[in-house]
Amino acid sequence: MAVQNIFDTDLKYLKGVGPQRAIILADELGLKTFGDLIYYFPYRYIDRTRFYSINTINEDLGLIQLKGRITKTELVGEGRSQRFVAWFADDTGAIPLVWFKGIKWIKERFMINAEYVVFGKPTEFNHQLNIVHPEVEEMSKYQAKPEFALQPLYNTSEKMKNKMVTTKTIHQLQINLHEVIKNATILETLPRQLLEKLNMPNLKTSLQDIHLPKNQHDLQRAQLRLKFEELFYIQLKLLRLKGIRSRANGGHRFEVVGQCFNNFYNNHLPFSLTNAQKRVLREIRQDTNTGLQMNRLLQGDVGSGKTLVALMSMLLALDNGYQACIMAPTEILAQQHYKSFCDMLAPMGIDVGLLTGSTKQSTRTQLLADLASGQLKILVGTHALIEDRVVFSSLGLVVIDEQHRFGVAQRAKLWSKNQIPPHVLVMTATPIPRTLAMTLYGDLDVSVIDELPPGRKPIRTMHYNDSRRLTMFGFLREQLKLGRQVYIVYPLISEPEASDLKYLEDGVESITRAFPEYAISVVHGRMKPSEKEQSMSFFSKGISQIMIATTVIEVGVNVPNASVMVIENAERFGLSQLHQLRGRVGRGADQSYCILMTGDRLTTEGRKRIQTMVETNDGFEIAEADLKLRGPGDIEGTQQSGVAIDLKIADLGKDNQILMLARNEASLILESDPNLKQPEHVILDSEIKRRWKYEFDWGQIS
């Protein structure tokens, strides 16, 4: 077998695998080769040399190890609910160990007052901690075992556990695998000079130490190297892309600030810009006047006024003889942009077009003709803008609102519409943490609006249990009497099977009963677009006072008179989503409120999320907290982003410093060798190609 192919070897040839297990590992974890297995890293390590005292443990610790004696055993309960309980004590306290299964066997096993090591996960039951089905081992046996001090834990699925493939099995397979590759040559994947400079271990050592660490020190070095490598290649790819693009793509030069922009700024702007808006506009003006294509990400909290920045950038394009378009992720949002653009631009005599999936054929034909002739300068729309038949005469600027719903390929398609690619301004719906932005959009320049327009009263957020529902109703009544409007958001439309989640249909019924004197609008995802739109417009015109909805109203809806947002089963939503929903109120002059309704029992994580919402209104802070609590995979939008951030080991919530190091090293290398042609960098080029197998058209993709 050729040395470099050892990682390609089929897993079924590994001792301990065989055809049956090979199928399970492939189906459940996607592991097919030696290489797949060795890159299947532990999610945690248990320090088997460490013992906790009983009086210091709690539910949040996960698996822990205790040392002590069994003082008493008893059988509790009858029949199916019968369980075996062993009272386990150390110098600091006692805790029950509980078995529901295997009682017959276990009850003969223990000697009272002999010393044991107990390994398991404390959980709370009836306000008392216990450990269910722990591993229990005599002290003398524990000491004699040549166990690894740091025991790795691997994720496994329910199906695997049923087939007896557990974290221990995978641990054993890793041991077997290391026997095989011990004497093989493993090709290094980072330049030697870089490893020396950063004093990091080589790949082979790192892969060994990540699975079978001899001590904390070796483990940490291995983790650092593997995390660094993972983040480094992403940064190298993105920065290289950015470099190539800026060298290859010319851009339209917006040389003048002319009539459109100035007229709007001086005569039609209904308020003065915030300093942050001014700064971002300056950045955009500089970018668009370099002769290179702008690729800029605009981040700003809900309500920070990103749309206005977009509009004014589009006027800049017009001033220089170009067309501009803005693309929104939903029909509703596109319509809203269209309306506000028309309101602002009509006094200046500038036409705006709207193109969505439901634009009528006759309107569409005229619109497309006006675009192609260059008569229509500003177009608002949805995905429909990407279609091939949409042809501009001279597209100078593309604004993409609520970016994370558009993939890379879709972005690329828009600018292939022109010989010279248009400038691109990407706006996020909610702030994203720096580490995530750098990983998802590391090839873009970033602008931040970190200031809200003046005079906004911070929204007050309150948390109510279901038992305080009547209090909540009372509060709504007060607000409605003041002439305000309220939103009530449900996680589901219909009654769910086997769960006590609140659902919209039930809400409509009970709210109608409780507030007979008010009109109610309903909006959810199963309605036709036209029905949805009518319902929305009733609410925004004030014909209805209560809006009952699912999260379809999340993005962009703007009704300044609405002062209360009630979110049912708030514990079910992610932080960014809660923040986005909350941002629907607080848009007018009145004090606004967000009421988070939850069940009485919350998980630790759920409680933290609700608490974060109550404590802060700062979208950036909330995004950071979300990333830390849930990890990037779960954060709203990242799955659809089209950018794979399937990280095997690095954690964007925690590995901030490693990310900065990786970006810095990548950019130093590219500065000295932009095309990665130097002999010591050839390895970098081939690794990028190996990791991102699909062909890049470096010039086009952004």
Question: Shortest gap between Cβ of 274 and ligand ADP (angstroms)?
Answer: 5
Question: Shortest gap between Cβ of 192 and ligand ADP (angstroms)?
Answer: 48
User: Strand 44-47 and strand 150-153: pairing?
Assistant: antiparallel
306 binding ligand ADP? (CB under 6 A): yes
| C-beta of 554 vs 626, nearer to ligand ADP | 554
Applying CB under 6 A, the span of 74-82, 301-309, 408-416, 644-652 interacting with ligand ADP comes to 301-309
Residue count at the site for ligand ADP (CB under 6 A)? 14
**Token pair belonging to 191:** 């330049």
586 binding ligand ADP? (CB under 6 A): no
Residue nearest to ligand ADP (CB): 305
What are the b/e assignments for 164-179, b being 16+ CB within 10 Å? ebebebbbebbeebee
Question: Shortest gap between Cβ of 184 and ligand ADP (angstroms)?
Answer: 55
Q: Which of 120, 152, 300, 353 binds ligand ADP (CB under 6 A)?
A: 300
Alpha-helical (H) ranges within 112-182 are 139-144, 158-162, 167-181
93 binding ligand ADP? (CB under 6 A): no
Question: Shortest gap between Cβ of 340 and ligand ADP (angstroms)?
Answer: 7
Cβ(421)–Cβ(249) under 8 Å? yes
Rounded to whole angstroms, the Cα distance separating 229 from 223 reads: 10
Cβ(433)–Cβ(652) under 8 Å? yes
| C-beta of 167 vs 307, nearer to ligand ADP | 307
304 binding ligand ADP? (CB under 6 A): yes
- Torsion angle defined by CA atoms of residues 300, 587, 610 and 431, in that order, rounded to the nearest 10 degrees: -10
Applying CB under 6 A, the span of 58-66, 211-219, 306-314, 497-505 interacting with ligand ADP comes to 306-314
* First-residue to last-residue Cα distance in the chain: 41
SS (H, E, C) 370-404: HHHHCCCCEEEECHHHHCCCCCCCCEEEEEECCHH
599 binding ligand ADP? (CB under 6 A): no
Question: If you write DSSP's letter for every residue of 86-122 in order, what string do you get?
Answer: EEEEETTEEEEEEESSSHHHHTTTPPTT-EEEEEE-E
Interaction pattern, residues 308-337, with ligand ADP; x per rule: CB under 6 A: x-----------------------------
584 binding ligand ADP? (CB under 6 A): no
453 binding ligand ADP? (CB under 6 A): yes
- Least Cα distance to 594 among 463, 466, 470, 457 occurs for 463
Question: Shortest gap between Cβ of 418 and ligand ADP (angstroms)?
Answer: 26
Q: Which of 302, 327, 376, 562 binds ligand ADP (CB under 6 A)?
A: 302
Radius of gyration of the chain (CA): 30
Secondary structure class of 528 (helix, strand, coil): coil
303 binding ligand ADP? (CB under 6 A): yes
| C-beta of 98 vs 302, nearer to ligand ADP | 302
Length of the chain: 702
277 binding ligand ADP? (CB under 6 A): yes
307 binding ligand ADP? (CB under 6 A): yes
Interaction pattern, residues 541-560, with ligand ADP; x per rule: CB under 6 A: -----------------x--
Question: Shortest gap between Cβ of 637 and ligand ADP (angstroms)?
Answer: 15
Question: Shortest gap between Cβ of 244 and ligand ADP (angstroms)?
Answer: 31
619 binding ligand ADP? (CB under 6 A): no
Residues in region 243-272 near ligand ADP by CB under 6 A:
271
**What residues contact 211, with CB distance under 8 A and at least 6 apart?**
38, 41, 42, 152, 171, 174, 175, 178
C-alpha separations of 296 from 216, 333, 516, 616 in Å: 42, 21, 50, 28
Rounded to whole angstroms, the Cα distance separating 434 from 446 reads: 10
Q: Which of 274, 288, 485, 638 binds ligand ADP (CB under 6 A)?
A: 274
Q: Which of 273, 462, 683, 701 binds ligand ADP (CB under 6 A)?
A: 273
Give the H or E element holding residue 426: strand 423-427
Question: Shortest gap between Cβ of 382 and ligand ADP (angstroms)?
Answer: 16
| C-beta of 55 vs 275, nearer to ligand ADP | 275
| C-beta of 331 vs 568, nearer to ligand ADP | 331
SS (H, E, C) 558-581: CCCCEEEEEECCHHHCCHHHHHHH
Question: Shortest gap between Cβ of 587 and ligand ADP (angstroms)?
Answer: 6
Applying CB under 6 A, the span of 27-35, 300-308, 415-423, 546-554 interacting with ligand ADP comes to 300-308
The DSSP output letter for 265 is I
Interface with ligand ADP (CB under 6 A): 271, 273-274, 277, 300, 302-308, 453, 558
